[in-house]
Amino acid sequence: MGWKLKTVQTILSILAFYITFAVGEDEEPRSECADFNNTTWLEYHQQGSKLQVQYLLLTRKNTDCASLFGQDFLSNNTYFNSSQPTKIIVHGYRALGSKPSWVKQLAQALLRVQDANVVVVDWIYGASLAYNMVVENYKEVAIQISVLINQLQNHGCKLESFHFIGVSLGAHVSGFVGTLFKGKIGRITGLDPAGPMFKRADTFDRLDPSDALFVEAIHTDADYFGISISVGHADFFLNGGMDQAGCSRSRFTSMYSYVICDHMRALHIYISALNGTCPLTGIPCSSYEDFLKGRCLGCPGRCPRIGLLENSGLTVFPLPQPKKLFLLTTSAPPFCAHHILVQLEVFLLDKSAEVQVILRTGGHPETEQRLRLQTDGTMYRRVIAHPVPLCEIDSIQLKNTGAHFYRQGDIHVVSVCISEFPSVGEVEPLCVKKINVRRGSPWNHDFVQLCENY
């Protein structure tokens, strides 16, 4: 056995020499990157039901390798800079006790936009029980986070420099932290704030505008896992806040697509907005139906935008009461859609009818919208989502599609107009007049050299 021991010692000596040579005599070997706890329901109870909240820090100096962060690490942490703003990411319910795979992507998107400290709250141990038990824990998590905030204030951080980004239940955790600091936290972003057990909750128990100097929320699953009411100064309801483009409604699709695709879309939309590929702008309106009917087409000033603009771009003061903002998106990144208002004017009809409007642009999927025409109306308006701006649309097509279900024959169209909003510059609607749309004979019109100065 002696030769084996000497062999092992020799190998260790060689490794020690290599490490010293590789990192330098005065340098310490690079420590392993910090990561989330992984847990199960059984492990949680074996730990004595302790929340075991821990914090991970990412900055532009260590974007790929998180370091543990907290009271014991403040004095000797070379990455944290108290003069920089601090982003705090709070995950939500974790039914299986697995770590959220999206955290690094979100943190790196934030760091590309702003030089900041990104602190990730890991409360996996408390978030992996039955949902009602997790809801009982969320305020305790917020209290523990508030202790960290107090410590950071002692190290020179200001309350207004903190920006909380809470996903699902994490949005309400963030809100309660804000409550503990009497609304003096700088900003809270709720990504589809959790709805179950919160829809009828008092404002003290859920995210609301009084929790920070500015509170915003992105709603994508308001009919299931998300909350359906406004909870901030700016509430973006994407595609009405419920069913999202590209999320399958079939029970035969994957569990992700069927159960949580809508809920997690808010997170992916936010990351896409941070990447800045194209603007995601919300339009204030009293309801989604009014928005789709073209009754709300803009803002008195600049319309709010998803991302890191101060107060989402709102310039009014004091900030408005909770207001619903609507926008349409596409089914895949970067999710940006151009809002195209289709306005169809027809002569009075003898019978009800249906017209299909199709917009085409080379290299992109066509966009279609069906309009139900009644005998008591002549003007019809509808907002649709198109992947390119107005001036890149190649053609428009009208089809009389109601032949099998309605008895209306030819449809005599006074005019069909398309326009984009919020508009860029003084761009007039594009209109074609005096059209006769016959059964089984689609009408087409090509647009050439549109809006040269757009």
Q: pLDDT digits over 119-152, tens only?
A: 999 999 888 888 999 999 899 999 999 999 999 9
Choosing from 327, 350, 366, the residue where a domain stops is: 327
Picking from 255, 258, 270, 198, the residue whose alpha carbon sits closest to that of residue 227 is 198
The pLDDT, as a whole number, for residue 84 is 95
pLDDT class for 29, splitting at 50, 70, 90? very low
Residue-averaged pLDDT of the chain: 84
For residue 17, is pLDDT > 50? no
Q: List alpha helices for 120-243, DSSP H.
A: 124-127, 131-154, 169-180
The total of structural domains in the chain comes to 3
**What amino acid occupies position 250?**
S
Same domain, 411 and 356: yes
Q: Do 140 and 213 have their domain in common?
A: yes
Show the domain range for 295.
41-327
The percent of residues above 70 in pLDDT, for the chain, comes to 82
So what's the pLDDT on residue 28? Answer: 37
Tally the C-alpha atoms within 13 A of residue 201's C-alpha that lie toward its C-beta.
Answer: 21
- Give the list of residues 6+ apart from residue 296 with CB closer than 8 angstroms, or none: 283, 284, 285, 286, 290, 326
One domain for residues 251 and 306: yes
pLDDT digits (tens, 9 = 90+) for 212-258: 999 999 999 999 999 999 999 999 999 999 999 888 766 555 555 56
Residue at a domain's end among 276, 298, 327: 327
- DSSP result, 233-254: SEEEEEGGGSSPTT----TTS-
192 part of the active site: yes
Asked whether residue 333 is domain-assigned, the answer is no
Q: What is the mean pLDDT of residues 380-407?
A: 84
Residues 50 and 194 in one domain: yes
Enter the DSSP assignment of 329.
B
Whether residue 116 sits in one domain with residue 6: no
> Catalytic residue among 168, 174, 272, 312, which?
168
Residues forming beta bridges with residue 87, ordered by sequence position: 118, 163
* Residue 379 located in a structural domain: yes
Specify if 368 maps to a domain: yes
Question: Is 177 contained in some domain?
Answer: yes
Instruction: Please tell me whether residues 379 and 413 are part of one structural domain.
Output: yes
User: Which long-range CB contacts under 8 A does 71-76 form with residues at least 24 apart?
Assistant: 71/147, 71/148, 71/151, 74/151, 74/152, 74/155
Number of Cβ within a 10 Å radius of residue 267: 22
- Nearest Cα neighbor of 396 from 371, 421, 363, 361 is 361
Q: What is the CATH number of the domain that holds 148?
A: 3.40.50.1820
The question of whether 64 is a catalytic residue gets the answer: no
How far apart, in whole angstroms, are the C-alpha atoms of residue 383 and residue 190?
Answer: 27
Please say if the pLDDT value at position 427 is more than 90: no
Q: Are residues 276 and 369 in the same domain?
A: no
Q: Are residues 151 and 256 in the same domain?
A: yes
What span, in angstroms and rounded, lies between the C-alpha atoms of 204 and 185?
A: 16
Same domain for 212 and 287, yes or no, is yes
8 and 114 part of one domain:
no
Inside any domain, residue 35: no
Domain assignment present for 17: yes
Q: How many CA atoms lie within 13 A of 346 on its CB side?
A: 27
- CATH number for the domain spanning 400: value is 2.60.60.20
Number of other CB atoms surrounding residue 262 within 10 Å: 27
Q: Are residues 88 and 17 in the same domain?
A: no
Rounded Cα distance between 113 and 417, Å, is 39
pLDDT of residue 430: 87
Query: In angstroms, rounded to a whole number, what is the distance separating the alpha carbons of residues 285 and 299?
Result: 10
Catalytic residue among 263, 268, 338, 339: 263
What is the b/e burial string over 421-439, where b = at least 16 CB atoms within 10 angstroms of the residue's CB? beeeeebeebeeeebebee
Rg over alpha carbons for the chain, rounded to the nearest Å, is: 27
Residue 190 or residue 69, greater confidence:
190
| pLDDT reported for residue 19 | 25
| Cα distance between residue 71 and residue 81, in whole Å | 15
What does the block give as tokens for 57? 């820090």
pLDDT at 405: 56
Measured CA distances, 371 to 351, 399, 420 (Å): 14, 10, 18
Domain membership of residue 454 (yes or no) is no
> DSSP letter at 305?
B
18 falls within a domain: yes
Catalytic residue among 91, 128, 174, 192: 192
Same domain for 323 and 350, yes or no, is no
* pLDDT-above-90 percentage for the chain: 55
Of 308, 327, 346, at which residue does a domain stop?
327
Tell me the β-bridge partners of 61: none
Using CA atoms, how far residue 415 sits from 125, 346, 436, 440, in Å, is 62, 7, 10, 20
